[in-house]
Amino acid sequence: MEGKKMLVFSAHAADFVWRAGGTIAKYINHGADVTIVVMSYGVRGESNDLWKGANQTADNVKAIRHEESFNASQKLGVKNIEFWDLEDYPINTGRDVLDRITQKIRAVQPDIILTHDAKDVINPDHDAVRQLVFQASIMSNSAGVQIPGLPVTKQMMIFGFEPHQTELSDFKPGTFIDITESYDAKIAAMNCFKAQNHLIEYYTQRAFLRGNHARRLSGVKDYKYAECFSNFFPRVAPEF
């Protein structure tokens, strides 16, 4: 992990924490350079509890979500986080956003990209971001896509978050990451989100469940908690 560059594209303010917070914290702890892009705050579709307050406004919800997301990123040890403030539900999928993602990939030159998986039966914003990031990664690797001052990237590994409605979304686990050492950091980060408090217990249980799978599949009894991801591409290695 030391020296690796990881780039994370999160559709909404909390997605990167629920789905990959332990992995992000672990990579940072082991010397990786992690950059997070929060595409939108999720004001329209991810902040229902905040809208229950009297006289609530979009600007105030956005301010709360920004503070929650930033504070959570600090619990994970993140130093590089950007908030693009796109409108959500639906998220903007225009060419300007595609080009901006491509430029970001070129600027970071990541070894690893984490983003949403191919299908989320409940949340089309996640699907949209996945498609944008995948297309941008191909553009970033293409020499014919000229961006002054930003060199072409080499092929990076891309992994998809496990969606909330796992089975309904036909999610296929491809890679399990042991997050036992960074589990406490993930819990602390999740507890920053009062706007989606109901998800904290769900993802606490999910980390335990995936830890069980990781132990069973690997035979390593020390794996207590894990996160899992889909593989965009087959893994390539010099040996099994």
In terms of CATH architecture, what is 5-231? 3-Layer(aba) Sandwich (3.40)
Task: Give pTM, 2 decimals.
Answer: 0.96
pLDDT digits (tens, 9 = 90+) for 205-236: 999 999 999 999 999 999 999 999 999 999 88
- Look at strands 226-231 and 175-178 and give their pairing: antiparallel
In this prediction, residues 51-73 reach a mean pLDDT of: 94
Single-letter amino acid, residue 96: D
On the question of pLDDT at 25 being above 90, the answer is yes
Terminal alpha carbon distance of the chain: 19
pLDDT band at 237 (very low <50, low <70, confident <90, very high): confident
Single-letter amino acid, residue 168: L
pLDDT at res. 202: 94
pLDDT at res. 68: 96
Task: Name the residue with tokens 């408090």.
Answer: 197
Nearest to 99 by CA among 135, 69, 126, 124: 135
pLDDT at res. 240: 83
pLDDT digits (tens, 9 = 90+) for 113-135: 999 998 899 999 999 999 999 99
Phi, psi for 219 (deg, rounded to 5): 80, 5
pLDDT digits (tens, 9 = 90+) for 94-108: 999 999 999 999 999
Buried residues in 13-29 as b, exposed as e (16+ CB within 10 A)? bbbbbbbbbbbbbbbbe
Q: Who wins on pLDDT, 198 or 58?
A: 58
Q: Out of 33-42, 165-174, 180-189, which region has the weakest mean confidence (pLDDT)?
A: 165-174
pLDDT band at 198 (very low <50, low <70, confident <90, very high): confident
Long-range pairs for 50-55: beta carbons < 8 A, 24 or more residues apart: 50/194, 50/195
